Amino acid sequence: MDGMMVTGSEKMLARKADGIGWMIFNNPERHNAVSMEMWQAAERILTDFTNDDAVRVVVVTGAGGRAFVSGADISKFESERASEEAVNAYQVQTKKVYDLLADLPKPTIAMIQGHCIGGGTALAVTCDLRICGQTASFGVPAAKLGLGYPIEGIRRLVDVVGPSFAKEIFFTAKKWGAEDARIMGLVNRVVPNEELEAFVLDYAKTIAGNAPLTVGSVKVIVREALKDRGAADEALCDKLVKACFASEDYIEGRRAFMEKRPPQFKGR
């Protein structure tokens, strides 16, 4: 499984190693602004990660060190978003990627260095966890551009930071530093820039080494727990919990604990 993947776009890189799938936005000369071609490649990458049992955690990041993702590539608007039909096609494609990332049955981590603006912030809050460098910056400039913002993107931001901070982020359209982002709950951890990749790699390896059925079940159950009482699929949650207790990994976990050794989980 180790090594780089063919993505169909030189501006999207993907690799798999040590149970970790890396999806890298590779347009550093434009602060990793995203074109239609890149969104299409991202769909292929995430579909592959979903279907590969050897991938247990996914890290999303940007190349070059100056930006995570800075939003849409405005230089492509004339060719990709000039007509209503083209705008609709673009929005359909971006929704596919956001939905794939949100529904990925494996933990996802946004590794953020530099600018994380507009669509970059939307992409980051679609991940389960966000870890950033100390000079990272965040913002949603929609109110400075006169843009409307769809409910699903706002809902994901509210799920992460709550309604008051979500309003502040949108109303002001300000750029926020890493410490403000941490206070808001927009990021889980802030680390020195030079330590970011090593920190995220260690974090991802820790998650990849844990029981996949347990981790996957918690991801689903947290999603269901956020729904109104009565709307959550409690039968599904119970089924996932029972599957953990009925698994070979549960036996392995107990034995490893008693034998004082690291468990070797297989996801079954």
The band of 73, judged by pLDDT with boundaries at 50, 70 and 90, is: low
Mean pLDDT, residues 50-59 taken together:
96
Average pLDDT over residues 143-167: 91
Is 57 a residue whose pLDDT tops 50? Answer: yes
* Mean pLDDT across 31-53: 93
Mean pLDDT across the stretch 250-260? 93
What Å distances lie between residue 136 and 3, 62, 147, 168, 171, CA to CA? 28, 12, 24, 19, 21
Give residue 83's pLDDT: 62
Q: Is the pLDDT of residue 133 over 50?
A: yes
pTM confidence score: 0.91
Percent with pLDDT over 90 in the chain: 76
- What pLDDT band is residue 1 in, cutting at 50, 70 and 90? very low
Work out whether strand 67-69 and strand 57-62 pair parallel, antiparallel, or are unpaired. Answer: unpaired
Task: Determine the Cα angle at 158 with ends 154 and 161, to 5°.
Answer: 135
Backbone angles phi, psi at 138, to 5 degrees: -135, 155
